[in-house]
């Protein structure tokens, strides 16, 4: 099968087993040059989309961070859009009213940005960890911001296990 067919089959199998599906846009170039594949991956909707503000704006043709996050709800039940030092926005629809709810998550001040490699992946992974452990969306965002703020202050895309544990303890307990 083609990559798009394989992704469609994986989504179908995941949904049949009750698994949640999260997609990361990964890079503005994916949105700009791989739009057909991205649209195919998002067809029928997903549970969560993670992207940065540039990617969200390219995908939705919105020029505002909040509007782009809200517009992503056309393809996902939840959209998490990061915007560097400006923080992130979590967009969801209210279960009852179906109105769009935006949750602002502040970024943490850092002394010096050394390397952003891995920050987005760590943000998404930390967010999903907290979500899968039953934490409120604002707390998921807080943990994700805390982890990403540490990642960008070092060289390399990962923290040591003890660093992750310390952030988890100080953020969610």
> Who contacts 161 (Cβ-Cβ below 8 Å, separation ≥6)?
none
Confidence category of residue 46, pLDDT binned at 50, 70, 90: very high
The number of C-alpha atoms within 13 Å of 63 and in the hemisphere containing its C-beta is 0
Q: What is the tens place of the pLDDT at every residue in 54-82?
A: 999 999 999 999 999 999 999 999 999 99
Question: What pLDDT, on the 0 to 100 scale, is given for residue 5?
Answer: 84
Backbone phi, psi, residue 82, to 5°: -90, 155
pTM (2 d.p.) = 0.93
Domains of the chain listed by start with CATH number:
1-107 (3.40.1190.20), 108-173 (no CATH)
DSSP label at residue 153: T
Burial 75-99 (b: 16+ CB within 10 A, else e): bbebbbbbbeeebbbbbbeeeeeee
The two three-digit tokens of residue 96, written as one number: 């009852």
Q: What is the tens place of the pLDDT at every residue in 138-167?
A: 999 999 999 999 999 999 999 999 999 999
Q: What is the tens place of the pLDDT at every residue in 3-13?
A: 888 888 899 99
**2 vs 49: CA distance, rounded Å:** 23
Helix (H, G, I), strand (E, B) or coil at 52: strand
Q: What is the tens place of the pLDDT at every residue in 105-137?
A: 999 999 999 999 999 999 999 999 999 999 999
**169 vs 173: CA distance, rounded Å:** 6
């Amino acid at each position: 099968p083609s990559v798009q067919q394989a992704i469609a089959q994986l989504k179908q199998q995941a949904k049949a087993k009750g698994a949640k599906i999260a997609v990361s846009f990964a890079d503005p170039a994916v949105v700009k040059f791989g739009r057909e594949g991205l649209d195919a991956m998002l067809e029928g909707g997903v549970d969560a989309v993670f992207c940065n503000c540039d990617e969200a704006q390219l995908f939705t043709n919105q020029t505002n961070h909040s509007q782009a996050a809200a517009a992503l709800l056309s393809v996902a039940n939840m959209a998490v859009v990061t915007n560097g030092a400006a923080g992130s926005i979590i967009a969801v629809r209210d279960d009852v009213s179906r109105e769009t709810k935006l949750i602002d998550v502040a970024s943490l001040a850092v002394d010096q940005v050394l390397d952003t490699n891995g920050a987005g992946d760590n943000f998404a992974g930390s967010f999903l960890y907290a979500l899968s452990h039953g934490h409120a969306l604002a707390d998921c965002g807080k943990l994700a911001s805390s982890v990403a703020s540490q990642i960008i202050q070092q060289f390399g895309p990962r923290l040591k296990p003890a660093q992750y544990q310390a952030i988890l303890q100080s953020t969610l307990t």
